[in-house]
């Protein structure tokens, strides 16, 4: 039966260590020994950290929380790939059976100027929050809503909106993009709210303000290479960037200020 | 104005100016095919164009603006993109590996093509001037100039290489313009990509057939 | 004075909350700006409370230890959210939702709170849809529902398997708007380490900036705690890695009573532990039990491949023990039965701590239904797999991702895991704790689920508290209480900060030899063994003996490398585990003194002949609320009697 194994593997890790945003950072070679193929990637790091701690060394700092692929906290660029080599899988759901024993694994933080390194593999993604704060919401005061079924939404549009709403805000798209562009993230939210009738009243301002905030945060531009789509653990499509481009042009034309 | 400064606005200006030039090169190539009919057809075609001053100047102004916009925006966006990530990854990403060569190297062939355009204008627009007369009308003999140039092996070879570059640039640029301008549709986008590739191939083949033909036949 | 005054207004349940909203004090809109409210935790309850209070005009400060409010563990809720909308026209009503919730909680919750919860449930759905939460819809554009455990109506709204995510993002966005217009001052990567009490009232908090390691003091006129549950006391649970009880526990130590700590919910269908290195357990939706058959080999230690074990050699124990409910026996029952099999040595898999959930029969059955006459066996299986994939495809994928096994080809291995804690800080009808000015919402309080929570009710409670209760009751408190101004130079603030700092110094100063995780795992083993699915007097007494020893070992031998004045994840964990080491003991003590079985609390001594939970309504129809009496002192147990005027106390039966 698969998964039932006493097999243990060893790896050579090349881990990025960086003591804060102003430190230049460097790679450190660390051995990962006695790893079960059933362990997740982060559990492998847990184990490495336990050994580091008990030998009096500082453990590797990395962001993680739910370990179910939904909170968007975990990051890491593994062998050059945000969230590792597999498609539509977050780092926390990646398992060591995907890595051959003896392999050298290069682990780096998400690299983007708008995501400064906090420590080692942990980065600051608050630029994403600022983009949402610029307009990624529908203004409705608590208690003012009409009955839910008085706003019908056709299933096709509801499904399209849902597909963009699955974004977990992990920043994998920015990490993957050669230009560190945040367009997939921004366009996913613009699409989610813009495809729904509830989102229409603020749509024009939302598009203008969110794109503005995205530009101000210092993210790069889109070169339509599709790297973001490929890295997105939730499979969010490039189509959303086109929608944002279109809506932005329309909103710019129509804007009265 | 904000629009023109925004990331998306500038991308869209890239797209629009690119599409203008894309349209132009197609027409240019088609017109030049008249050389296969013979020197008289080719020279008469050229004469007809330069005789229509409003059309000529109008086109030249539009193209110059498009070229300038495309160039300025291209450099500006690229510089910004480089600045958005200062530290590089130790290993290439999957996205990097799977992205088409053309999409990642637009700035490089773009600059090469700018050089080519200048060279091309120097040679043909502002270069040696020969005259020829057909039916009593005196006109510039561009055909002779072309034969003179394309008979130099290095010149012809350089031309062929650059025309391939045009093809590469167009193959991504054409379909990418649609994405930048906001046109992406699950049914049409794959067709636009195919069309983009075909168009780029036809334009490149059309153009590079000329120096090869001249080199071999004349 | 009895501190446990529930403050429930008198009158009939219907309309009670509406009348009470009118009776409560208001704060003049122009004055609201002068009041500062601190909200700790930005999950469903925290984000919704913060957004609403800010909308009303209060000055709100939010705190989360995450890097963004959007990361809170509410995001991981899968199934859905209940609401008494009756959109399916199947006879649902506020009263029915109220009744189901009280009964599901095994009659250990407060009627008035639960009724209010059921009443506002419909408003939650309206609010969320207006915010753009993409709930599942019919082709006609209206909302659709699904059924969930413990109810005979379809009242669960859902967004595929990501309902929690969509609701949290909605609340996060509402909050983001208020951050943008400066009504909320949002603090991220800051962890609350203590509550500051001035003149007997909650007036602020001490937090540690996790990035710089610096302590900060923040003042407020009221503090709202929305910091979730304490399931991680078991080390392995379905909670997120960083979920912890520190904020609540620190408040408890400052005088907030802790209610019903022994009520923990164990979910029967989780992916089992696969080895020592495992860090958490992943839930598989309970809907799988609709089609899967649960079994173990009849012989102990039978390690053959499951497909080599013939039907006659298998024990489909749920079908055997509960012939009428079979594989659909309720959560607690199914969990306990799995434990019994493993205890008998019949567990499966590498570790022997799992049972099989087998879809082979379902695949065959569905295949036969779909296949034309004379179809070959392969065709039938192929068709059957297609049907199963349509229904459970995404769950099968998760399973395969984690275990590397193909559940279409071989049975899944499942085992129960700690999932939710019904207990929490004691609160009255206003969701105010025994410390005036300290309000508690969401999973962090104890109020609505009694001894067992029904599926799809956690999201409902978090949002009900945050959107519709806290904004009114906090306003009432601020409007009716005379609060002198305080600043962070106040002695109480300084003293609390000093205590926090010396605790950090003490942790760092131990410089022992073992990692924090080592102690956490040890604690988890004790808790799971003796305070897990089934508890008895002997085990609980042993726990009460063992945990103080472990606590002492921790404080003598824990090793925290690195700098306390910088990002230090080990230090963060150490503070949390230190608190778990106190909370775990209290859970055991509560379980020991509650000499009955009810909901998630199963005492082996108190069961019916056929192994069902046996409540003792004469002696235990009350809330147990514990009062902190000081370090290493036994806590005092207080009682809030529960009265049931609108539902009849009855025995739950699944026969």
Q: What is the 3-state secondary structure (H, E, C) of A42-68?
A: HHHHHHHHHHHHHCCCCCCCCCCCCCC
- Compute the mean pLDDT over every residue in chain C, rounded to the nearest whole number: 94
Residue C92 half-sphere exposure, CB side, CA atoms within 13 Å?
26
Q: Active-site residue among C96, C201, C250, C331?
A: C331
Question: Which of C125, C127, C277 is closest, CB to CB, to A36?
Answer: C277
Which of C331, C392, C421 has the alpha carbon at shortest distance from C150?
C331
- Kindly tell me if the per-residue pLDDT of A157 is higher than 80: yes
Residues of A in Cβ contact (< 8 Å) with B7: 181, 183, 211, 214-215, 219, 221-222
Touch of B by A (3+ CB pairs closer than 8 Å) = yes
Q: Does residue C331 carry a catalytic annotation?
A: yes
At C2, is the pLDDT very low, low, confident or very high (cuts 50, 70, 90)?
low
Give span(s): CATH 1.10.1060.10, chain A.
125-254
Chain C: partners with 3+ C-beta pairs within 8 Å: A
Q: Which CATH number is associated with domain A125-254?
A: 1.10.1060.10
What confidence score (pLDDT) does residue C363 get? Answer: 94
The yes/no answer to whether this complex scores an ipTM above 0.90 is: yes
Name the DSSP class of C603. B
Sign, CA torsion C27/C30/C35/C36: positive
The answer to whether A194 and A186 have CB atoms below 8 angstroms apart is no
Task: Give how far the C-alpha of residue B23 lies from the chain's centroid of Cα atoms, to the nearest Å.
Answer: 9
**Phi and psi torsions of C625, nearest 5°:** -120, 125
* Mean pLDDT within C572-585: 98
pLDDT at A2: 38
| pLDDT confidence bin for C611, thresholds 50/70/90 | confident
Is A252 a residue whose pLDDT tops 70?
yes
pLDDT in tens, A20-73: 999 999 999 999 999 999 899 999 999 999 999 999 899 999 999 999 999 999
CB neighbours (10 Å) of residue C212? 14
Shortest distance between the Cα of C233 and any Cα of chain A, in A, equals 16
Percent of chain A with pLDDT over 90: 94
Q: Is residue C234's pLDDT more than 90?
A: yes
With CA atoms as reference, report the closest residue to C49 among C477, C479, C471, C478: C471
**CA–CA distance, B156 with C162 (Å, rounded to integer):** 62
| Partners of C513 in beta bridges | none
Q: How far apart are CA A93 and CA C279, in angstroms?
A: 12
Higher pLDDT, C146 or C489: C489
Q: Residue A190 in contact with residue C176, Cβ under 8 Å?
A: no
Chains B and C touch, using 3 or more CB pairs below 8 Å: no
Looking at the partner chain, which of C51, C136, C401 has a beta carbon nearest the beta carbon of A89?
A: C401
B/e letters for B169-207, b = 16+ CB within 10 Å, e = fewer, are bbbbbbbbbbbbbbbbeeeebeebbeebbebbeebbebb
**Cβ(C474)–Cβ(C222) under 8 Å?**
yes
**Closest approach of A252 to chain C, Cα-based (Å):** 22
Q: Which residues of B touch A179 (CB under 8 A)?
A: 80-81, 84-85
DSSP C467: I
pLDDT for residue C147: 80
CATH class of A9-119: alpha beta
pTM for the model stands at 0.95
In this complex, the chains that touch B, judged by 3 or more CB pairs closer than 8 A, are: A
What pLDDT shows up at residue B1?
67
Query: Which of B32, C169, C446, C202 minimizes the C-alpha distance to A185?
Result: C169
Confidence of residue C1 (pLDDT cuts 50, 70, 90): very low
Side-chain-side CA neighbours of A163 within 13 Å: the count stands at 14
- C187 has which bridge partners? C63
**Percentage of residues in chain C having pLDDT higher than 70:** 99
Q: What pLDDT is recorded for position A3? A: 44
Return d(Cα C53, Cα C36) in angstroms, integer: 10
Instruction: Quote the pLDDT of residue C655.
Output: 61
User: Cβ of C126 and A165 within 8 Å?
Assistant: no
User: Which of A18, A41, A55, A68 to mutate: most C Cβ within 10 Å?
Assistant: A68
| Residue A245 burial by Cβ neighbours in a 10 Å radius (0-12, 13-18, 19+) | buried
pLDDT tens string C322-335: 887 788 777 777 88
The SS3 call for residue C558 is strand
What are the φ and ψ backbone dihedral angles of C137, each rounded to 5 degrees?
-130, 160
pLDDT, residue A1, reads 37
Taking the domains of chain B in order of start, what are their residue ranges? Answer: 2-83+102-217
C356 pLDDT band, cuts 50/70/90, is: very high
What would the CATH number be for the domain defined by C270-418? 3.90.700.10
Q: What is the pairing mode between strands C222-225 and C36-40?
A: parallel
Could you report the per-residue pLDDT of B112-145, keeping only the tens digit for each? 999 999 999 999 999 899 999 999 999 999 999 9
Enumerate residues 24 to 83 of chain A having a beta carbon within 8 A of any beta carbon in chain C: 35-40, 42-44, 46-47, 50, 52-54, 56-59, 61, 63-68, 70-73
The mean per-residue pLDDT over the stretch C3-24 comes to 95
Q: Do chains A and C touch (3 or more CB pairs under 8 A)?
A: yes
pLDDT by residue (tens digit) across A5-16? 678 999 999 999
Highest mean pLDDT among C142-151, C262-271, C430-439: C430-439
User: Cβ–Cβ contacts within 10 Å for residue C503, how many?
Assistant: 16
Alpha helix ranges (H) inside A60-154: 126-133
Residue B15 φ/ψ, nearest 5 degrees: -65, -50
Residue numbers of C between 202 and 221 with CB closer than 8 Å to A:
211
Q: Rounded CA gap, C587 and C554, in Å? A: 19
Torsion angle of the four alpha carbons C308, C310, C313, C319, in this order, in degrees rounded to the nearest 10: 120
pLDDT at B190 exceeding the cut of 70: yes
* Strand ranges for B57-165 from DSSP E: 131-134, 137-140
Closest by alpha carbon to C472, among C178, C168, C113, C56? C56
**C277 to A61: CB separation less than 8 angstroms, yes or no:** no
DSSP type of residue B123 = I
Predicted confidence at residue C654, as pLDDT, reads 61
| Candidates A66, A97, A161; nearest CB to C134 | A161
Kindly list the distances between the CA atom of residue B131 and the CA atoms of B42, B122, B137, C237, in Å, as whole numbers in the listed order: 13, 18, 10, 89
Give the separation between CA A64 and CA A45, rounded to whole angstroms. Answer: 11
Q: Is A6 on the interface with C (CB under 8 A)?
A: yes
Verify whether the Cβ–Cβ distance A196 to C126 is below 8 Å: no
A83-92, A134-143, C114-123, C283-292: segment of lowest average pLDDT: C283-292
As given in the structure block, the two tokens for residue C290 are 């609709």
CB contact under 8 A, C350 and A5: yes
Indicate the domain borders of chain C: 270-418, 492-616
The top-level CATH class assigned to C492-616 is mainly alpha
Summarize the confidence of residues C611-621 as an average pLDDT: 92
Task: Determine the residue of chain A that is closest to B9 in CA distance.
Answer: A249
């Amino acid at each position: 039966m698969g998964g039932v194994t006493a097999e243990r593997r060893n790896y050579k890790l090349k881990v990025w260590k960086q003591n804060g945003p102003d430190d230049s950072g460097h790679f450190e070679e660390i051995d990962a020994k006695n790893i079960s193929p059933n362990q997740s990637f982060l559990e492998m790091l847990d184990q490495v950290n336990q050994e580091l701690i008990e030998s009096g060394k500082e453990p590797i700092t990395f962001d993680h929380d739910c370990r179910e692929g939904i909170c968007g906290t975990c990051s890491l660029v593994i062998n050059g790939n945000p969230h590792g080599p597999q498609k539509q899988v977050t780092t926390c759901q990646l398992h060591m059976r995907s890595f051959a024993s003896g392999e050298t694994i290069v682990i780096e933080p998400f690299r983007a100027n708008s995501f400064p390194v906090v420590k080692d593999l942990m980065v600051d993604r608050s630029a994403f929050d600022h983009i949402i704060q610029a307009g990624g919401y529908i203004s409705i005061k608590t208690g003012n809503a009409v009955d839910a079924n008085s706003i019908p939404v056709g299933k096709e549009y509801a499904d399209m909106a849902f597909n963009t709403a699955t974004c977990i805000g992990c920043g994998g798209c920015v990490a993957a993009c050669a230009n560190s562009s945040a367009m997939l993230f921004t366009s996913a939210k613009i699409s989610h709210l813009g495809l729904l009738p509830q989102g229409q009243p603020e749509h024009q301002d939302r598009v203008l303000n969110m794109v503005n905030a995205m530009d101000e945060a210092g993210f790069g531009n889109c070169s339509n290479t599709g790297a973001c789509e490929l890295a997105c653990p939730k499979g969010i499509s490039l189509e959303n960037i086109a929608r944002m481009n279109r809506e932005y042009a329309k909103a710019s034309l129509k804007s009265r200020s | 104005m904000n629009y023109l400064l925004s990331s998306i606005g500038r991308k869209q200006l890239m797209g629009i100016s690119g599409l203008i030039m894309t349209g132009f090169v197609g027409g240019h190539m088609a017109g030049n095919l008249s050389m296969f009919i013979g020197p008289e057809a080719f020279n008469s075609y050229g004469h007809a164009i330069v005789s229509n001053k409003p059309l000529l100047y109008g086109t030249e102004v539009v193209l110059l603006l498009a070229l300038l916009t495309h160039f300025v925006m291209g450099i500006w966006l690229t510089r910004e993109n480089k600045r958005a990530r200062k530290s590089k990854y130790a290993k290439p990403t999957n996205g990097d590996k799977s992205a088409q060569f053309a999409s990642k190297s637009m700035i490089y062939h773009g600059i090469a093509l700018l050089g080519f355009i200048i060279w091309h204008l120097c040679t043909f627009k502002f270069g040696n001037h020969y005259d020829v007369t057909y039916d009593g009308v005196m006109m510039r003999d561009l055909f002779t100039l072309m034969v003179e140039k394309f008979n130099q092996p290095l010149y012809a070879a350089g031309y062929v290489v650059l025309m391939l570059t045009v093809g590469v640039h167009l193959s991504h640029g054409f379909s990418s313009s649609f994405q930048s301008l906001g046109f992406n549709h699950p049914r049409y986008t794959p067709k636009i990509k195919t069309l983009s590739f075909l168009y780029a191939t036809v334009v490149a083949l059309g153009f590079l057939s000329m120096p090869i033909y001249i080199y071999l036949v004349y | 004075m009895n501190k446990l005054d529930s403050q429930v207004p008198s009158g009939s349940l219907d309309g009670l909350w509406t009348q009470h909203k009118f009776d409560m004090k208001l704060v003049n809109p122009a004055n609201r700006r002068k009041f500062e409210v601190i909200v700790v935790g930005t999950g469903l309850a925290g984000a919704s409370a913060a957004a609403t209070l800010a909308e009303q005009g209060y000055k709100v400060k939010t705190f989360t230890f995450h890097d963004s409010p959007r990361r809170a563990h509410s995001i991981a809720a899968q199934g859905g959210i209940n609401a008494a909308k009756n959109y399916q026209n199947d006879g649902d009503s506020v009263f029915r939702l109220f009744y189901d919730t009280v009964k599901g909680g095994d009659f250990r919750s407060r009627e008035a709170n639960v009724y209010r919860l059921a009443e506002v449930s419909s408003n939650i759905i309206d609010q969320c849809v207006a915010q753009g939460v993409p709930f599942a819809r019919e082709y006609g554009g209206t909302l659709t529902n699904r059924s969930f455990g413990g109810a005979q109506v379809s009242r669960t709204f859902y967004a595929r398997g990501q309902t929690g995510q969509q609701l949290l993002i909605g609340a996060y966005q509402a909050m983001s708007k208020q951050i943008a217009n400066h009504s909320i001052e949002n603090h991220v990567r800051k962890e609350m380490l203590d509550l500051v009490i001035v003149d007997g009232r909650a007036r602020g908090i001490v937090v540690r900036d996790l990035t710089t390691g610096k302590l900060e003091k923040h003042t407020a006129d009221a503090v709202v705690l929305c910091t979730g549950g304490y399931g991680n006391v078991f080390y392995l649970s379905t909670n997120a890695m960083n979920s912890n009880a520190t904020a609540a526990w620190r408040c408890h130590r400052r005088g907030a009573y802790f209610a019903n700590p022994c009520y923990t919910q164990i979910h029967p269908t989780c992916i089992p532990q696969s080895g020592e290195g495992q860090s958490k357990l992943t839930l598989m939706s309970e809907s799988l039990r609709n089609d899967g058959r649960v079994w173990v080999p009849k012989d102990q230690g039978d390690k053959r491949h499951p497909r080599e074990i013939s039907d006659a050699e298998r024990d489909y124990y749920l079908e055997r023990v509960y012939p009428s409910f079979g594989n659909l026996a309720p959560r607690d029952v199914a969990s306990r039965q799995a434990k019994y099999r493993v205890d008998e040595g019949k567990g499966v898999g590498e570790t022997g701590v799992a049972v099989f959930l087998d879809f082979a029969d379902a695949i065959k059955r569905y295949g036969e239904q779909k296949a034309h006459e004379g179809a070959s066996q392969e065709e039938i299986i192929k068709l059957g797999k297609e049907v199963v994939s349509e229904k459970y495809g995404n769950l099968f994928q998760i399973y395969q991702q984690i275990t590397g096994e193909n559940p279409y080809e071989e049975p899944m291995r499942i085992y129960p895991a700690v999932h939710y804690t019904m207990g929490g800080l004691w609160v009255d009808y206003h969701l105010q704790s025994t410390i005036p000015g300290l309000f508690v919402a969401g999973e962090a309080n104890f109020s609505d689920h009694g001894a067992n929570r029904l599926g799809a009710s956690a999201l409902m409670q978090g949002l009900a508290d945050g959107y519709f209760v806290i904004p009114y009751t906090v306003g009432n408190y601020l409007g009716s209480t005379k609060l002198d101004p305080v600043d962070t130079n106040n002695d109480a603030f300084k003293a609390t900060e000093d205590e926090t700092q010396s605790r950090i110094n003490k942790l760092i100063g131990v410089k022992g030899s073992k990692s924090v995780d080592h102690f956490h795992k040890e604690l988890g083993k004790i808790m799971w063994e003796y305070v897990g699915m089934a508890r008895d007097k002997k085990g609980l007494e042993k726990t009460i003996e063992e945990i103080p020893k472990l606590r002492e070992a921790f404080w003598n031998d824990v090793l925290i490398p690195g700098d306390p004045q910088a990002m230090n994840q080990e230090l963060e964990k150490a503070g949390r585990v230190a608190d778990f080491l106190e909370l775990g003991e209290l859970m055991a003590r509560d379980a020991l003194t509650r000499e009955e079985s009810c909901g998630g609390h199963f005492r082996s001594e108190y069961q019916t002949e056929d192994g069902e939970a046996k409540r003792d309504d004469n002696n235990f129809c009350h809330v147990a609320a514990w009062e902190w009496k000081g370090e290493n002192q036994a806590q005092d147990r207080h009682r809030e009697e529960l009265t049931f005027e609108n539902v009849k106390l009855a025995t739950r039966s699944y026969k």
